[in-house]
Structure 1
Amino acid sequence: MQEDNDFVIEGPAPVEPLVEETAGQIFWKVLMDNDPQHNIMINAETGAVLTTKTLLEESCKLAQALRIHGCAPQTTLCIGSENNLEYFIPVFASMFAGTITAPLSVNYTDQEIKHILNVTKPRVAFCSKKVAGRYVKLKSEMKFLETVIVTNGDEEVVEGAVNMKEFVEKQLNGKVVSPYKFLPFDGDSKKNVQLILCSSGTTGLPKGVMLTHRNIVTRLLQSRHPEYLSDLNVVLGLMPFFHSYGMIFGLTSIFNRHVTVMMDKFDGDFFLKTIQDYKIPLIRIAPPLAIYLLKNPKVSLYDLSCVQEVFCAAAPLNGKTEAKLKERLNLKSIYQAYGCTEGTLALTITNKDVFRPGSCGRVITYMQCIVRDPDTGRSLGPYEVGELCFKGPTIMKGYYNNPKATAESFTPDGWLRTGDLGYYDNEQYFYVVDRLKELIKYKGYQVAPAELEAVLINHPKVLEAGVVGLPDEFAGELPMAFVVLKDNQQIGEEELKKYVASNVSPQKRLRGGVVFVSSIPKNPSGKILRKELKKKLGEYRKSIPSKL
């Protein structure tokens, strides 16, 4: 493949140079300079708050406790928790101590958790009361996991775990930790990994995306570029903090001194009531919620006149939907971004003052993009569809303990291959049109067809299976299966769907349905031809209900 760099698109000129400081040093300064009584986060349900003073003091104490406990720079920790006010305390403590943080989904099955724990091998697991029992059980099986710490509770909730306050007090043993004298980790920001975020690959099981301190610091600086930084300082925090969307925007909100009104799960009425009661002017959502706000009749029962800006990411939002939502909510701005976990989230973004329906914006500052023909490697000009490839200081270091997958994600000349197909117009606004990868995108979550196929063919009555995404207005895509049964075997669609649901996370369920066929199209080497399966969708989609 002959690659060229004839059409390189660059982001706007940075307004400030990149710095060599670590994420911990940056955030320590931000918190030290902030008003101690500033409400960083508010629990939408209880009204409880997390102040700058609490986050700074508790993070410094926990960081020192981790150091005493023997957690050196690059020791891995994990967090298994739903959104709560305590979530970012271990995140910041890890930054300050120089350890690595691996946020894990609370929706993972035992198989998925075991897999990612075996990949990252954390010494300490921070978890909420909700999942503490699962981690204690895993601790007995995985000898590298030494300590399970419950973040949101004053008392030990299960045998084998310890609450965070008790852990800190035991390690410090009466020693006072002053934030003013605390020294955050000062290692090489380009080499040292700070976050390992989970991203599914074509094998289905999560891969660990290594983001360095430099990646994170660059993303922080991008967030306050004048073209992107909102003047509004109260935001909705609904996206899961364990997801790259929730984690990165959680960090940038703290960096920019925004107040995050946090929700731990989605409930339609409570979602709308929270926006109304807290008068939230800026909401960050994924396309399914944009459609909810546009079409759900409950919206008219609440006063959402406070909403001025809507930011949408995680999957493409249809331009017509975008325009209609802007009109319905009388928004000042609605804009999109495109990105991926491997790029520290945002890679293109729309200027908040520009309305370009359907576009995910222009290349973000500090970054470069090439649209390449995936077959020839030739770089493409305006309106030519190809694979979006990126370079710049937010691109991941690689996949943790997976050099093969890392090598496959980059071109020989060093560009990150996103696996997404798109184009740009004459003004360098980008549009994502399809995915080169075969991942299904359900409500912003990546679902690997191969994983679901593996689950299906393990059923004693199933011979073969092929999984694709069924286009859906609300969710983006619904996982759907074409199934070949063994001779003389019978099973109902609902029974098979329940079988899959019992073996996978909620986002991976076969909401698109099951279609029984006589054969699955394959190439000579035996690889499933999913493009051929997708051609059959038109025959079935009218008879398959959307069940969200």
Structure 2
Amino acid sequence: MDDKILKSPLPPIPYPEISVAKYILDRLKQFSGQKTVLLDCPSGRKHSAQQVYDHILNIAAAFVDLGLNKGDVVLFISPNSDYYAIGLLAVMAAGGVFSACSELSSYREVYNAIEDTTAKYVVCTPDNLEDIKNIAECLPQIRKIILMSNEWTSQTDPKVVNYFQLYDYEASECSYDLPKRVDCHQDMAALLLSSGSTGRPKPIIRLHRNVINLTHQFQHQEIWGLTERSVHSCQNTFCHSGGLTFLLHSIASGAIAAIMPAFEGNKFINYVEKYKITSAFLVPSYVIFLANVDVSNRDVSSFEDIICAGSPLPEGIADKVFANMGLKYFRQGYGMTEVGFCTQVFRSKNLEHKASVGWCVPDSQVKVVDPNTSELLGPNQVGEVWIKSHQMTPGYLNLPDKNAESFDGQGFIRSGDAGYYDSQRLLYIMDRYKQILKVEGIIVLPSELEYLLLSHEDVSEAAVIGVKHSYYVEVPKAFVVLKPQRKVSEEKLIQYIDGLVNDVKKLRGGLTILQELPKTPLGKINKTLLQ
């Protein structure tokens, strides 16, 4: 049976059993104090290693003086920025727990996030302030609202505090030690919310050891291996595991974390050119943009390395982006918020395995099982991917029934993804099980149809879902976005696809051209909103 459980070909990587804040602060002290480690791309603000070190401790001291106790949750609602990055690390240094939701969240989504994470402090921007004040009247658990704004106006609400006043604290004058001591095996570093694609988002516990193990592994040159010469794009929201992980890895490596509020196609190219960005972690929709964007008159020569994860990448896109952007490395990886990264194509093998999401990283195990019988499956047999790792969450906060449903008796978590592994023990992800279609009993993969749509010269983005049908029960329906200045009818695109596939894969559900596809805060296509 053990030969059907995938393990890493790399040896274990021991990780320091300390808090996230101490890990980052210790790393910052190893670099030259003048070395730039944070860059806010829109404003051009830069922060040296010494400045980030001092700001983290000073703001941590301010949080403690505001009454923050060990284990208290601080929830951020803000677009990415340099100030946000420093603030979340300060929360951890003060012994608090970092949590966040998207600044684009609705009132009800924010209310639920604060309630479910038990947040006692909320950091927000002026755009969200009135909503947070109203929520605080309903949820007395909120002690303070920290407003992140340079344009401070006097507030009549005593709960509202100016974030930038926290910078005036001097940690060296405090009577307590910072960063606060934690038990890395028991204490939470973060509470990250699930996507909510299957219902109300779930608060996912991330212990200090989970975050440290993941961040420390990324220092390995085969796994990621940023250096002090790297400039890494941090455009994925910090409220998501990928955004937080790569921010921490960038700082810990001494690289420059080039922070952007979001991925905005042409702005991203501008930032690559202006700040000589070298690498990025991107979801497939961003990779597809870079595969098609015209950079013939742009200097993107610094940009050489992409890791892609988040959902299946359509076939052929890897080769296309590799050529268009002049990359040296392109790799896929696989994981989930509950686990972090559990598999990845290693750097030295990136040209050989562009379709795979790679081998297990150290201290991770993967098995593929029959979702109906839980039988372990062998090579090239499709089943549900189950994961076990030191990076893995111990569970969801205050959701015992969900925990019992999600984990098996051996500590593996059920991913909900369909996949298989080959004779080289490389993992391949096909699609979410719930998104796979069955037409007349035959499996139809949305990712396959999406790839074919993207092969059309006029299509820039595509998503395929299943819709009910009176005869076939379920059939594929497509949504596409056209490239700029391109015109093609929905009927022509349906004819194009139907001419490439067999009978069961035809777009009997139709095709709709949209101006844009709905996206999650991470940039993944939100198929739930297309249903």
Q: TM-score range by the shorter chain?
A: 0.7 to 0.9
Pairing of 1:23-422 with structure 2 (within 5 A): 23-153=20-150, 155-156=152-153, 159-160=156-157, 161-167=160-166, 177=172, 182-201=177-196, 203-228=198-223, 229-231=225-227, 233-297=230-294, 299-343=295-339, 345-354=340-349, 355=351, 356-422=353-419
Give the Å deviation of 1:420.
0.7
Give the Å deviation of 1:393.
0.7
SS at match of 1:220: helix
Distance 1:8 1:260 in 2: 36
Distance 1:294 1:179, change over 3 A: farther
The answer to whether the Cα contact below 8 Å between 2:116 and 2:203 also exists between their aligned partners in 1 is: yes
Give the Å deviation of 1:148.
0.6
Distance 2:360 2:104 in 1: 33
The residue type equivalent to 2:507 in the other structure is G
The answer to whether the Cα contact below 8 Å between 1:56 and 1:179 also exists between their aligned partners in 2 is: no
| Structure 1 runs not aligned, ≥5 long | 441-467, 485-512, 514-534
Give the Å deviation of 1:138.
1.8
Give the Å deviation of 1:329.
2.2
The residue type equivalent to 1:38 in the other structure is K
The residue type equivalent to 1:24 in the other structure is A
Distance 2:29 2:423 in 1: 45
Distance 2:174 2:322 in 1: 44
**Number of corresponding residues:** 464
Give the Å deviation of 1:542.
3.4
Give the Å deviation of 1:260.
1.7
The residue type equivalent to 1:422 in the other structure is G
Give the fraction of aligned pairs with identical amino acids, expressed as a percent: 25
The residue type equivalent to 2:284 in the other structure is P
Distance 1:422 1:252 in 2: 28
The residue type equivalent to 2:134 in the other structure is K
The residue type equivalent to 1:165 in the other structure is F
Give the Å deviation of 1:371.
1.1
Give the Å deviation of 1:268.
2.8
Q: Deviations over 1:58-78 (max 9, x none)?
A: 221222222233222111111
| Structure 2 runs not aligned, ≥5 long | 438-445, 455-459, 471-489, 491-503, 518-531
The answer to whether the Cα contact below 8 Å between 2:57 and 2:171 also exists between their aligned partners in 1 is: no
SS at match of 2:401: helix
Q: Deviations over 1:204-237 (max 9, x none)?
A: 2211111000000100121012212145511112
Distance 1:10 1:146, change over 3 A: same
Distance 1:55 1:128, change over 3 A: farther
Distance 1:244 1:158 in 2: 34
The answer to whether the Cα contact below 8 Å between 2:24 and 2:248 also exists between their aligned partners in 1 is: no
SS at match of 2:58: helix
Q: TM-score, normalised by structure 2?
A: 0.80
Distance 2:161 2:322 in 1: 48
Q: Deviations over 1:350-387 (max 9, x none)?
A: 11221212111111112111111111212122111111
SS at match of 1:398: coil
Give the Å deviation of 1:317.
1.5
The answer to whether the Cα contact below 8 Å between 1:420 and 1:436 also exists between their aligned partners in 2 is: yes
Bigger mean CA deviation after superposition, 322-331 or 210-219: 322-331
Q: TM-score, normalised by structure 1?
A: 0.78
The residue type equivalent to 1:247 in the other structure is L
The answer to whether the Cα contact below 8 Å between 1:369 and 1:390 also exists between their aligned partners in 2 is: yes
Match of 1:449 in 2: none
Match of 2:463 in 1: 477
Distance 1:390 1:230 in 2: 26
The residue type equivalent to 2:313 in the other structure is L
Give the Å deviation of 1:335.
0.8
Distance 1:288 1:363 in 2: 24
Give the Å deviation of 1:254.
0.9
Distance 1:157 1:100 in 2: 28
Distance 1:438 1:116 in 2: 26
Give the Å deviation of 1:547.
3.4
Distance 2:436 2:46 in 1: 38
SS at match of 1:33: coil
Distance 1:37 1:420 in 2: 45
Distance 1:333 1:193, change over 3 A: same
The answer to whether the Cα contact below 8 Å between 2:13 and 2:362 also exists between their aligned partners in 1 is: no
Give the Å deviation of 1:476.
6.1
Bigger mean CA deviation after superposition, 156-165 or 311-320: 156-165
Q: Deviations over 1:303-341 (max 9, x none)?
A: 222221122111222241101221222211111111100
Give the Å deviation of 1:80.
0.7
Bigger mean CA deviation after superposition, 392-401 or 319-328: 319-328
The answer to whether the Cα contact below 8 Å between 2:73 and 2:121 also exists between their aligned partners in 1 is: yes
Distance 1:185 1:322 in 2: 44
Distance 1:193 1:184 in 2: 14
Distance 1:372 1:54 in 2: 49
Distance 1:483 1:71, change over 3 A: farther
SS at match of 1:144: coil
Distance 1:295 1:398 in 2: 40
The answer to whether the Cα contact below 8 Å between 1:66 and 1:97 also exists between their aligned partners in 2 is: yes
SS at match of 1:18: coil
Distance 1:547 1:77, change over 3 A: closer
Distance 1:300 1:401, change over 3 A: same
Distance 1:381 1:158, change over 3 A: farther
Give the Å deviation of 1:19.
2.7
Pairing of 1:488-507 with structure 2 (within 5 A): none
Distance 1:156 1:364 in 2: 49
Distance 2:292 2:370 in 1: 38
Give the Å deviation of 1:84.
0.9
Q: Which consecutive aligned stretches of 4+ in structure 1 deviate over 6 angstroms post-superposition?
A: 178-181, 478-484
The answer to whether the Cα contact below 8 Å between 2:234 and 2:260 also exists between their aligned partners in 1 is: yes
1:12 aligns with 2:9: yes
Distance 1:85 1:202 in 2: 29
Distance 1:60 1:544, change over 3 A: same
Q: Deviations over 1:487-517 (max 9, x none)?
A: xxxxxxxxxxxxxxxxxxxxxxxxxx9xxxx
Match of 1:462 in 2: none
Give the Å deviation of 1:155.
2.1
Q: CA RMSD in A?
A: 2.9
Distance 1:38 1:285 in 2: 26
